[in-house]
Amino acid sequence: MDFSLIYNTGYEVIFVAFSVIIVAQIIKFFGHWIWKRNADFRMFTTTGGMPSSHAAGVVGLSTSVGLIRGFSSIEFAIALGYAFIVMYDAAGVRRAAGRQAACLNRIIMDVYKQELKEAGGKLKELLGHTPLQVFIGALFGIIYAYCVHWYLIRMVG
């Protein structure tokens, strides 16, 4: 394969952004498998957990843009701003929504003495991330982007 078609282009950025999300979800699956001792294939598609695939994706994208266009470029500044918004949302807004869902699930069970299925089903509680999960995801995104970029340099040159 001719890696020069990917190296230092938007294709590299797109590849890093999507592949780091997939790798983070795989890590989540195996982490769950090791710690909980069961294979839960829903971990491939669920939000929340360690590491944050949202943070890994947007920071991997930002790092790739910085490596290609420069860390003082306007493109990097835009990508980094986007990354901060997504990470804030993952650790803030969506985490708070998950806590509210857990509270509502308990209210339905305790106060109304109803099964959750009768009340329309259980609300999804694992929506957001802890700050540590976001930090580890962001760190993973940086390392992953550097590794892909370094690998492409070796393959091209």
pLDDT (tens digit, 9 = 90+) per residue, 24-36?
999 988 877 777 7
In sequence order, which residues have a C-beta less than 8 Å from that of residue 43 and are 6 or more positions away?
Answer: 25, 28, 29, 32, 49
Sign of the Cα torsion 80, 83, 88, 93 reads positive
CA distance 144 to 140: 6
Q: What is the pLDDT of residues 72-98, one digit of tens each?
A: 999 999 999 999 999 988 877 666 666
Cis peptide bond upstream of 51, omega within 30? yes
CB 94 within 8 A of CB 130: no
Tokens standing for residue 144: 């992953």
Q: What is the pTM of this model?
A: 0.78
Q: What is the pLDDT of residues 88-137, one digit of tens each?
A: 888 776 666 667 767 776 776 776 666 655 655 666 655 567 889 899 99
